[in-house]
Every structure is written in structure tokens, then in C-alpha cells.
Chains A and B, each alone.
Chain A
């Protein structure tokens, strides 16, 4: 079993829809949870960062972490065509106390249709 599992999609939704992106993980030592957005031919851009179970909101984006279920989600409200990108989940703090090592999911390709 891979440390981080993420459905690669692709996911296609109409403009205005609520999008739910998810990752599961197996390493209970992970302490930090991130979502990156990667536009085509660009580097990953840090979108959301959290280190505790519960919800964290930033504008139209909500990151949710459930450590008991080893499950994280990213919700996008009122999705826009400009949200079309690949979304990568990432986790850190799980390698023998080394905070800096990040483990990534494979990414979910999202297309928001006007």
C-alpha cells in the first residue's frame, strides 16, 4: 500500500459546482497536511496548509483533515474555470521526526467547464 493515495481523475465539473478532492494515507506519523495547485507547465503552488484535525477555510477553499480516519479533503466552492489544474495533496513530519520530508499524492486533474 502506498503511503498516500489520491484518485488521479480526471474530474470534470460545471462552473459553480462544489468540488471535493480527497487523499488517504497510511502513515499515522504524518503531522502536516498540504494541498498544492499545479497549472499546466508550471510548478506546484502551495494552496492550503494545516497541521490539525478539523477544517481550515481560505476564501472558496476549505481543507479538512481527519487524522482518525487518515483522510484529508479539499473543497472548492463556486468553482471557476481558473480553478482548472492538477491538485496535489502532500504530507510531512512522518519520517522519523524529519519535518522537511514531504510525501505527495499523484494529483487529481480538475477541469471546470464554463
Chain B
């Protein structure tokens, strides 16, 4: 399985600021994904990031709020913009595996917005 790291592992931010989360994979992968995990809720897919094309966002998530970069096959970033306390959550990146039928996850970034 791929080894995935995320930075930062946690952060406390002020309302109205932005945070960029980095995801690094130890091998080249076609598809990378960004999820949000809120307490008591299911893992929710924010967007799919393919190298060389615009990210594909799920219903309820927009590029202005969650801009994503995918400069190469081993790296992606997710920015949480103009944060509010409702953005407090765990943000996870994952990569496709087994022909994209399943996914491996990074350790997550724990974000608290005050």
C-alpha cells in the first residue's frame, strides 16, 4: 500500500483566515481525493484531484472555498479559505488503489477554527 503523509497534522486557526493542507505520496498515483470527517458524520468526499486537470468537486463543495492543486503525481494541496468555526473538522487525503476500486488514506489534518 502507498505511504501517505499530510502536513500539518493539526492546527488552530482564526476565523477569516485560510489554511493550506499538503498531501505527499511515496509513489506516483493517478487519482487523489480529499475528504472531510466531522464528529458523528460519515467521511464526506470534497473533491477528486487529477494531475493536469481541474479538480472535480462534489455537491456542496466549491472551488472558491476549497481550492485544490495537483502539480504532479505524488503531491496535492487543499486550501480551506475564509474559515469559520463550521470548518473545524478532520481533513483527509487518499489515493486510489486496486484499479481505483478502493482507497488508502493519509493520517489526517485536525483543524480547529476559533
List residues of A whose CB falls within 8 A of some B CB.
4, 8, 32, 34, 36, 41-46, 49, 51, 88, 90, 92-93, 99-107
Knowing A42-B107, A44-B92, A100-B48, say if A92 contacts B101 (CB, 8 Å). yes
Count, chain B residues at interface, CB 8 A = 25
Knowing A44-B92, A100-B96, say if A93 contacts B105 (CB, 8 Å). no
Residues of A within 8 Å of B53, CB to CB, are: none
List residues of B whose CB falls within 8 A of some A CB.
1, 4, 31, 33, 40-43, 45, 48, 92, 96-108, 110
Q: Which residue of B lies closest to A3 (CB)?
A: B42
- Residue in contact with A106 in the complex, picked from B42, B103, B110, CB distance below 8 Å: B42
Known pairs A41-B110, A42-B108, A46-B103. 13 more at Cβ < 8 A? Answer: A32-B102, A34-B102, A41-B108, A42-B107, A46-B102, A46-B104, A51-B101, A88-B43, A100-B96, A101-B45, A102-B43, A104-B42, A106-B40
The smallest beta-carbon distance between B10 and chain A, in angstroms, is: 9
Knowing A88-B43, A104-B43, A105-B42, say if A43 contacts B102 (CB, 8 Å). no
**Residue among B97, B103, B108 having the largest count of chain A Cβ atoms under 10 Å:** B103
- When the two chains form their complex, are residues A100 and B100 in contact, meaning their CB atoms are under 8 A apart? yes
Residues of B within 8 Å of A88, CB to CB, are: 43
Residues of A within 8 Å of B4, CB to CB, are: 43
- Residue in contact with B42 in the complex, picked from A4, A41, A100, CB distance below 8 Å: A4
Residues of A within 8 Å of B92, CB to CB, are: 43-44
Residues of A within 8 Å of B105, CB to CB, are: 36, 43-45
The smallest beta-carbon distance between B105 and chain A, in angstroms, is: 4
Expressed in whole angstroms, the Cα–Cα distance for A52 and B91 within the complex equals 31
Knowing A8-B40, A88-B43, A105-B42, say if A43 contacts B101 (CB, 8 Å). no
